[in-house]
């Protein structure tokens, strides 16, 4: 569906347009058209292709979705794909926004996400001296909004990791910790797949040869790239910490198993002592004088109990029990 379609001239909002009126404003000097679509139909995308003379391959990518974040040039136009990530019921929902940026137009196509960019349009309209730079500044504002929305997600993931780390040394929590760590690792990878490719391509928008659309806004795209680099570094740090935490959890599991094994071995040794005494006196040879003593049975029990108690004390002192 069409969210809005507005023409701007000299950084000021000129008029809201129907789709049919777009071509009338594309040839006006210092004028560009900003169109926003959400989950568009094939007919709507085809209408945009005809109005803006978009490349068929870029339109096909935008219509099919599920694209890797990228920046591609088609003549004087740019085609940018970014991932929109948001938490929905504790899980990460991944949407997509495809942006077509030409010398006199900007078209954003949002799919699979409830996030909107109304705040971006309001921000740009509050800064007409910047909006005057045209579609390049709008492209920057859209990219900046997408990247800035990654920071709260990153903060949530870091908080979740800290929560798991606090439970690592709690006895009996190993299985739950490992499960939570792998779930967190999966979420981190979702964010990684959105950030790393975009960081790689963002370098094409500033410094050296840049697309004509971005010539006046290179400093702004450098700022976006810096934010992406910070997020990417933080993601790598989280991944390293997760790997360390998983190793520590597995070590804790091994230690707990070792403790159980030591306890079982200690109790087996205690019962082995009692069994050895009982086995000796259970042979019932005729020339075993202690079998005919009046106090033989209580003495045997006392010896067994005393010896087992001494062995228990030794294991207790060695912290096996």
Looking from the CA of 251 toward its CB, the CA atoms found within 13 Å total: 8
Whole-model pTM: value is 0.79
pLDDT score of 159: 92
Q: How far apart are the first and last CA of the chain?
A: 70
Rounded to whole angstroms, how far apart are CA atoms 77 and 69?
Answer: 17
Residue-averaged pLDDT of the chain: 86
Sheet with 70-74, side-by-side order of all strands? 12-16, 2-9, 31-38, 105-111, 91-102, 77-88, 70-74
Residue tagged 């594309």 (tokens): 26
Confidence of residue 17 (pLDDT cuts 50, 70, 90): confident
Report CA Rg, the chain: 35
Number of C-beta neighbours around residue 205 at 10 A: 25
Q: What angle do CA 145, 151, 154 make, to 5 degrees?
A: 145
On the question of pLDDT at 259 being above 80, the answer is no
Q: What tokens does 216 get?
A: 């006046």
CATH number listed for the domain at residues 1-120: 3.30.460.20
Q: Where are the domains of the chain?
A: 1-120, 257-317
CA nearest to 60, candidates 100, 21, 117, 20:
100
Q: What tokens does 17 get?
A: 């347009």
26-37: per-residue pLDDT in tens? 878 888 888 898
The more confident residue out of 264 and 191 is 191
Q: Is 89 exposed, middle or buried (0-12, 13-18, 19+ CB in 10 A)?
A: exposed
Rounded to whole angstroms, how far apart are CA atoms 33 and 245?
Answer: 51
SS3 at position 88: strand
Confidence of residue 216 (pLDDT cuts 50, 70, 90): confident
Q: Do domains 1-120 and 257-317 have the same CATH topology?
A: no
Assigned architecture for domain 257-317:
Up-down Bundle (1.20)
Helix spans in the chain (H): 22-26, 42-52, 56-64, 118-125, 128-131, 135-148, 150-165, 174-202, 218-281, 296-317
């Amino acid at each position: 569906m069409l969210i809005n379609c507005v023409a701007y001239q000299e950084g000021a909002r000129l008029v809201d347009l129907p789709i049919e009126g777009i071509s009338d404003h594309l040839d006006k000097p210092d004028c560009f058209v900003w169109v926003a679509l959400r989950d568009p139909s094939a007919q709507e995308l085809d209408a945009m292709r005809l109005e803006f003379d978009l490349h068929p391959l870029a339109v096909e990518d935008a219509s099919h979705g599920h694209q890797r974040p990228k920046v591609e040039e088609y003549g004087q136009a740019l085609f940018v794909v970014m991932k929109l990530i948001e938490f929905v019921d504790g899980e990460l929902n991944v949407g997509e926004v495809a942006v077509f940026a030409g010398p006199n137009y900007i078209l954003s196509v949002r799919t699979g996400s409830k996030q909107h960019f109304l705040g971006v349009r309001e921000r740009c309209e509050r800064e007409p001296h910047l909006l005057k730079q045209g579609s390049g500044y709008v492209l920057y504002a859209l990219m900046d909004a997408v990247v800035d929305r990654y920071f709260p997600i990153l903060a949530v993931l870091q908080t979740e990791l800290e929560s798991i780390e606090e439970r690592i040394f709690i006895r009996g929590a190993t299985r739950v910790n490992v499960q939570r760590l792998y779930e967190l690792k999966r979420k981190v990878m979702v964010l990684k797949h959105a950030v790393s490719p975009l960081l790689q391509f963002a370098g094409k928008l500033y410094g050296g040869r840049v697309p004509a659309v971005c010539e006046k806004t290179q400093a702004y795209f450098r700022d976006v790239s810096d934010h992406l680099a910070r997020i990417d570094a933080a993601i790598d740090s989280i991944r390293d910490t997760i790997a360390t935490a998983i190793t520590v959890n597995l070590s804790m599991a091994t230690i707990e198993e070792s403790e159980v094994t030591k306890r079982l071995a200690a109790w087996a040794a205690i019962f082995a002592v009692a069994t050895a005494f009982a086995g000796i006196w259970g042979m019932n040879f005729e020339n075993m004088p202690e079998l005919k003593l009046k106090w033989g049975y209580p003495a045997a029990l006392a010896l067994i109990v005393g010896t087992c108690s001494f062995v228990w004390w030794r294991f207790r002192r060695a912290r096996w029990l």
